[in-house]
Chains A and B, each alone.
Chain A
Amino acid sequence: MKRNTLLLTVGLLVAVMFVLLQVLFTVREGEAVVVTTFGKPVRELTAAGLYMRWPWPVQRIYRFDHRIHTLEGAFEETLTRDGKNILVAVYAGWRIQKPMEFLERVGTVEQAEHNLDSLLRSQKNAVLGQFPFAGLINTNAAAVQFDAIEQQMLAAVQAEALARYGVEVQFLGIRKIGLPESITEKVFARMKAEREEIAERYRSEGEGEAIKLRAAAESQRNQLLAKAEAEAKGIRAEGDARAAESYQVFEKNPELAMFLRKLEVLELTLQKKSTVVLSSETEPFDLLQGDKALPKHNK
């Protein structure tokens, strides 16, 4: 009996909870709810709180996130006014403005984002075609027209999104800009060429500077050696002049001077490994002739 009472209580509690869940519902902050009666949308609620409804299948509720959703568009190729191919990705912040229309027209956030993406793409291409490439990338910040492009895209998208899907596109921004792969390769090639040009310039400057330094040094060397040679020659001449002055004394007895000089030359020329053929009459080898060489007063 006790066990049956317990089971009955639990069963009743579950049944009450089920009934309450069928007739009461909450709308959370940041949520939009559409109530349908036999499939027909009859009420839309965006204020948080507790509400009542008829149980299923009479009434049914559809909940949507009423906060700002972020839509990230594809990185898509388009043309600028001056015919430059670029890739542009945009993002958009949107929220459900008319929940009933949203339910009827798109039904889910995923479907809405799919539809908005198409709308965004067409408007993006149309607007970007009105601006030059320099309006997107420029070293002069004042010439970059991001804000104008975004505002123009937003204005084009906003009205259509609200009318078609019941959503308000609140803001829109250019997320990323790029170049198609083939152009990117060309830009890489140009960047490489620029770097190579600078590198080659550096190398040439180095070589040129080196040649200049070597030439200057060579010149300085030659100048130094020439000066030194000239100075040396002067000094040597001075020495020769002084020697000539000294040799004037030889004029007092030139015969003796020449004799002495010959002796010097004789001594210098008959160095080692010379072979001398002498006559036996040559002094002092004439002594080898015996008596003939002896002094006469000794005979």
Chain B
Amino acid sequence: MEKHNERIALLAGLLAAFWLGADAVLARVTHLQVLPALCVYGAVALVVALVVFVRERLARRAAEEKREAALAERERVSGSIFEAETAPELFTVARTREQFERFIVPAVAPVLAVGLAAAAWWLRRQLAGPAAPPAHRLLVLAALGGQAFAFFLLSRYLLGWGRLLRGPGIALGVACVASLVAGAATLAGEMGYPWGDRLAAMVLLVFLAGLAAENVLNFIGELYRPRRGEPCRSYESRLGGLLTEPGAWARSVAGALDYQFGFKVSETWLFRFLEGALLPLVTFQIIALYLLSCLVFLGPEERGILERFGRPVAQLESGFHLKAPWPFAIVRRFPAQRVLSFRIGQPAPRGASPAVIQWNVPHALGEDQFLVAAPRVGDGSVPVNLVAFNVPVEYQITNVLAFAYHSADPGRLLEQIAYRSLTLEAATHDLFEIMGDGQSRIAAALRQRIQTEADRRQLGVRILFVGLQGVHPPTQVAEAFQSVIGALEQKEAAILTARAAAGKTVTLAGAESARAVQEAEAYRTQRTEISAAEAKRFLIQAATAEKSPRVFRTSLYLDTLARALADTRKFIVPAAVAHEVYQLNFEEKLRPELFDLGPAVGKK
């Protein structure tokens, strides 16, 4: 009997390990997405069972050790005369147990929390990726049935024994429920509902995340719990308790509160009331939620199709409507009043458009380039150019029935039609017609072409707007296009500069001509007038000279000499002294001296 708890915990661990291995193999073979999640539940049960096994084993061995010590004590007292001093043993089982209880057991909850969170994250990534088609569902179904049954039996057995065994009992119970969920999903897949596998995997994943959070809370609660001799059971899941003992939810909560606060919260009237009223309340809530499916509220932009047993029976306008509950009647909603749109050539811009949009700066990632026709240059060349478009297309649903039932994805089909129409329009027009004056004409033709094709495919839409926006040469050649404009500007600048220079040259030439003529005229006038005056003066002088020739001439000579020599340096040398030689210094002096003020005197 002493080893019973220990053995049953070991059995739980072995059972969990066996099914964990089996689930892992099945997951690899069958590609069912729910099985990896199920493996995590098996791993949790294995860890908890092993911890409890060690606890039970240490407890048993500590008790044995204590008994042996007591026996040895008695023998020593009765059989010895001289008592020898004995040192306390350092490595006893009791001490090991104490250390285990003190450090290892409280650490189980945070370790489980981290492990569960990591597993949930890994599973989420696995679910986000593509999944291989599942196989051998019936085999899995049989295995899961056996697993759930084994877990159920052992779980119920464990829950009926001591407090410490509740932990593995709950863990196995949770694994049992997870096995049932996985089995139901596998069955659904076999019955033609393959989405059940992924859905069940998601459910198990969410519950795993919940368990991880609960373990964190349990660990924190353990730190602040009053120490009253209760062994630590922070790894024991309350959420799991709700699943394994659904009728005893209140007891589980009350047990948790009792455990946490150290008094019998579960005996208060509030808990007793809640325990009795919860099931009717939850039932009422579920029925009310179900009946809510009879109410339909269509928004201002919406129109609906009422389907009864899958058959469309009415079209619904915006507002409130009543219908039979699901699954007898359902309403399909469409944003029929809203202007819907998509873009061709460029993905829809994220955020605000840039303030300046230039050809040589990429507008968006993944810009499409369309081939446009070009005049043939030579026989061997490909007569095409490339151009980038940004064409927004706006449309509205006009026939909800056609939109809903004719095409599986009418928006996508319309986009394909628009792409085809644009490709065709581009293929038949020259680059400069598309980028230049032909834009509005081509946009109108494009809209008409898309509308015609959409009507032909019975899409039930009306094309409201097709805009040829952002038509530009590819970024790689945009600078070459811009350089043409630059060259045109250079041409204009060169002509204007030359024109300015020419204007200046001609104007200055005119002025210079005028000056030359004016100077000539002045010269003529001067010559005419002065010569006339000189002639007149000469006549007068001649008349005067006739009257007194010598006096006139001498007087005139002397007057002239006086004026001419007034500001000159004059050297007067004596005449008629032939043997004398005069040396005259004509050097200019930079600074006049005092003696220079007088008349210069020749030096002998």
Residues of A at the B interface (CB closer than 8 Å) are 3, 6-7, 10, 26-31, 48-50, 56-57, 60-63, 65, 67-70, 72, 84, 91, 93, 133-134, 136-141, 144, 146, 171, 173-179, 183-184, 187-188, 190-192, 195-196, 198-203, 205-207, 209-214, 216-218, 220-222, 224-225, 227-229, 231-236, 238-240, 242-250, 252-253, 256-257, 259-260, 263-264, 266-267, 269-285, 288-289
Contacts and interface: CB of A to CB of B under 8 A. Distances in A.
A174 B416 CA distance: 9
Nearest to A202: B487
B211 to A, nearest CB: 27
A52 to B, nearest CB: 12
A177 B371 contact: yes
Top 10 nearest A-B pairs (CB, nearest first) are A206-B491, A228-B513, A239-B524, A217-B502, A210-B498, A232-B520, A221-B509, A243-B531, A199-B487, A239-B527
B268 interface: no
A138 B376 CA distance: 9
Contacts of A209: 491, 494-495, 498
A217 B480 contact: no
A26 B497 contact: no
A70 B412 contact: yes
A75 B249 CA distance: 60
A236 B509 contact: no
B417 to A, nearest CB: 7
Contact of B534 (A190, A205, A246): A246
Interface string B315-346: 00000000000010000000000000000000
Contacts of A279: 572-575
Given A242-B532, A266-B560, 18 more contacts: A28-B307, A48-B307, A61-B192, A67-B405, A195-B480, A203-B494, A206-B491, A213-B502, A218-B505, A220-B506, A228-B513, A231-B516, A235-B517, A239-B523, A242-B528, A247-B535, A260-B538, A280-B573
A191 B312 contact: no
A187 B307 contact: no
A210 B384 contact: no
A133 B535 contact: no
A191 B374 CA distance: 10
A203 B506 contact: no
Nearest to A36: B192
Contact of B572 (A205, A244, A285): A285
B568 A275 contact: yes
Nearest to B427: A137
A66 to B, nearest CB: 9
Contact of B510 (A91, A198, A224): A224
A192 B475 CA distance: 11
Contacts of B419: 91, 175-176
A244 B140 CA distance: 140
A242 B409 CA distance: 109
Given A243-B531, A260-B541, A283-B557, A173 B495 contact: no
A27 B310 contact: yes
A218 to B, nearest CB: 6
A234 B474 CA distance: 70
B584 interface: yes
Interface of B: 190-192, 276, 279-280, 283, 307, 309-312, 327, 368-375, 377, 381-386, 404-409, 412-413, 416-417, 419-420, 423-424, 427-430, 457, 473-474, 476-477, 480-481, 483-484, 486-488, 490-495, 497-499, 501-506, 508-510, 512-517, 519-521, 523-528, 530-532, 534-535, 538-539, 541-542, 545, 553-554, 556-558, 560-561, 563-565, 567-576, 584, 586
B513 A213 contact: no
Contacts of A257: 538
Given A48-B312, A70-B413, A202-B488, A139 B520 contact: no
Contacts of A227: 513
Nearest to B571: A277
B409 A235 contact: no
Contact of A199 (B370, B423, B484, B584): B484
A177 B419 CA distance: 10
A263 B541 CA distance: 13
Contact of A243 (B368, B404, B497, B527): B527
Contact of B541 (A244, A256, A281): A256
B310 A50 contact: yes
Contacts of B519: 232
A138 B427 contact: yes
Contacts of B524: 235-236, 238-239, 242
